[in-house]
Amino acid sequence: MSNSSLKVEAKGDREVVISRSFNASKELVFTAHTECKYLKRWMFGPEGWSLDVCEIDLTVGGKYRWVWKKADKGIEMGMGGEYREIERPDRIVATEQFDDPWYEGEGLSTVTFVESNGVTTLTNTMTYISREARDQVLASPMEEGLEMGYKRLESLLEETGHAAGSGE
């Protein structure tokens, strides 16, 4: 289990910095963020939601598309973007835009994976078009949903790490 909780904080006028540590190699944490077979197991918020559509072309200029569904309510939430930089297993830079936007413009996500003594710290710096867009994101239930997903990711990494053995 990780002893690090999720941290979400505003930085400057347009950024949100999200960080969380996991007891796993950065290769495992990177893989869990870039392969649909893993994303579908952890990247959703409250119970009843699922990540039903997961498409990833993990190349610079490649696109990704995710659609979450809450089946009992018939609700969908989709988003996608384009990969701008990929440095496996250290860094991913990608755009982010929701199908039904709830903030103005497009976001830019810069995710880094830093490992020390078997613990990987993930830091996601989200940059938005304006302070208003950033503040809309901060006012949303994003933090709660992220922590739900990251707790599932923590369990998945523990399970995957044991299954992979010390070779990963």
Selection from 25, 56, 18 nearest residue 142 by Cα: 18
Average pLDDT over residues 149-163: 87
CATH fold group of domain 7-163: Alpha-D-Glucose-1,6-Bisphosphate; Chain A, domain 4 (3.30.530)
pLDDT digits (tens, 9 = 90+) for 7-46: 999 999 999 999 999 999 999 999 999 999 999 999 998 8
Where in the chain are the domains? Answer: 7-163
Please identify which residue in the block is written with the tokens 């989200």: 126
SS3 state at 103: coil
Q: Residue ranges of the alpha helices (H) in 11-167?
A: 26-34, 36-42, 131-139, 142-164
Query: DSSP of 90-101, one letter per residue?
Result: TEEEEEEEESS-
**What is the spatial distance between Cα 144 and Cα 35, in angstroms, rounded to a whole number?**
23
* pTM of this structure: 0.90
Q: What is the mean pLDDT of the chain?
A: 92
**What is the spatial distance between Cα 18 and Cα 162, in angstroms, rounded to a whole number?**
27
